[in-house]
Structure 1
Amino acid sequence: MPQLDILALDAEPASALLPELAELLHACVHDGASIHFVLPFSVEQAAAFWRDKTLPGVAGGGRVLLAALLDGRLAGSAQLDCDTPPNQPHRAEVCKLLVHPDCRRQGIARALMAELENQARWRGRSLLTLDTASGDKAEPLYRSLGYQEAGRIPGYAWDGRGEKLQATTLMYKTL
């Protein structure tokens, strides 16, 4: 059975994994994941996302970055945004749950979500929120983990091909 390790990365180890993180994001977007990017989408754009958007938050302590290593290879990642306003210190947002298309259906997303919840509890967070493309394959996963639908927003974002606007489902879980 393959060995799955879930690690919380500080900025330095995350920087060292930048090429692998970029490849992961690139592969997921090209596989149709609705995670804020539109084709065409290059590996360089993926690297810029991690370098410019994610790593500063990790370095500043407001963002948790998890890496899922399957037999030592990066197979997935997830983020927890804890950089909330002063009136929301109890809340965090689940962001960018990614599993490489070659590694799906092995419990990696579920393991990443479980560790995100542990990280949230450790930081005193009792409410998690997220959004996902309505009807996306991730929606049933979130429901199975106890997330509840707060509502849907029609025409929220372009699909990954930039062809049509799609709705998003807002979800939450009380820990």
Structure 2
Amino acid sequence: MRVSLRHFSPADIRERLPELGALLRDCVHDGASIGFILPFDTASSQAFWTDNVLPAVTRGVRLLLVAEVEGRLAGAVQLDWDTNPNQAHRAEVRKLLVAPAFRRRGLARQLMQALEAQARLLPRSLLTLDTRSSDHAEPLYLSLGYVVAGSIPGYALAPAGDRLDATTIMYKQL
């Protein structure tokens, strides 16, 4: 499997919007706790990219890093460094997504390692993130050297809307 990692420009986001929308929609429908609840349709998914991600990428305060496999969009992650002046050393990892059909192949790890390399170039020395407690992503982050800062019970509504899930706050010093 040949994986290509690259930054998406504003033009790339606009051009590949249907694929980005499908990636996010498929992840939410597969149970990913990434801020959305069901029902979650294609229009809502595309609106996230155009209303949230595109403006930040255009302003130069967020990186959208994507993984492609044989030209197909297989995953994405965002690095957000739109911080206050007293936090210019810090960035946040946002929305690590891997399409269900491409999971368990190391894409998430590759995306995170590339994101960390980009953070060092900014330069940022501290990364933060949150993930649903006991989710399959938590062991990945731990294996990459992220440290648990704590957990908040009842933090977010589960994608199915049937319960409140805890979140785990994590960080990594680069």
TM superposition score normalised by structure 1 = 0.98
Note if 1:39 corresponds to 2:38: yes
The aligned counterpart of 1:15 is: 14
Residues 104-143 of structure 1 aligned to structure 2 (within 5 Å): 104-143=103-142
Structure-1 separation of matches of 2:32 and 2:97: 9
Which residue matches 1:93? Answer: 92
SS of the residue aligned with 2:11?
helix
* SS at structure 1 position matched to 2:134: coil
Please give the alpha-carbon distance, in whole angstroms, between the structure 2 residues aligned to 1:68 and 1:15. Answer: 17
Residue aligned with 2:45, SS: helix
What's the RMSD between the two structures over aligned residues? 0.5
Moved more, 61-70 or 8-17: 8-17
TM superposition shift of 1:121: 0.5
TM-score by length of 2: 0.99
Q: Secondary structure at the match of 1:87?
A: helix
3-state SS of paired residue (1:59): helix
Secondary structure of the structure 1 residue equivalent to 2:23: helix
Matched, 1:26 2:43: no
| Distance in structure 2 (CA, Å) of the matches to 1:71 and 1:107 | 16
**1:15 Cα deviation from its structure 2 partner:** 1.3
Query: Identity of aligned pairs, percent?
Result: 57
* Alignment gaps of 5+ in structure 2: none
Question: Which residue in 1 is equivalent to 2:53?
Answer: 54
In 1: Cα distance, 2:114 partner to 2:18 partner = 23
- Superposed CA deviations along residues 101-156 of structure 1, whole A, max 9, x for unmatched, are 00001110000001100110010100000000001000000000000000000110
Q: How far apart are the structure 1 equivalents of 2:8 and 2:124?
A: 19
Deviation at 1:72, TM superposition (A): 1.1
Look up the SS of the partner of 2:85 in the other structure: coil
Q: 2:61 & 2:111 partners in 1: Cα distance?
A: 18
User: Could you tell me how far apart the structure 2 residues matched to 1:102 and 1:127 are?
Assistant: 32
Alignment: residue pair count: 174
Task: Return the alpha-carbon distance in structure 2 between the equivalents of residues 14 and 37 of structure 1.
Answer: 20
Q: Which residue of 2 aligns with 1:145?
A: 144
Mapped partners of 1:107, 1:168: distance in 2: 23
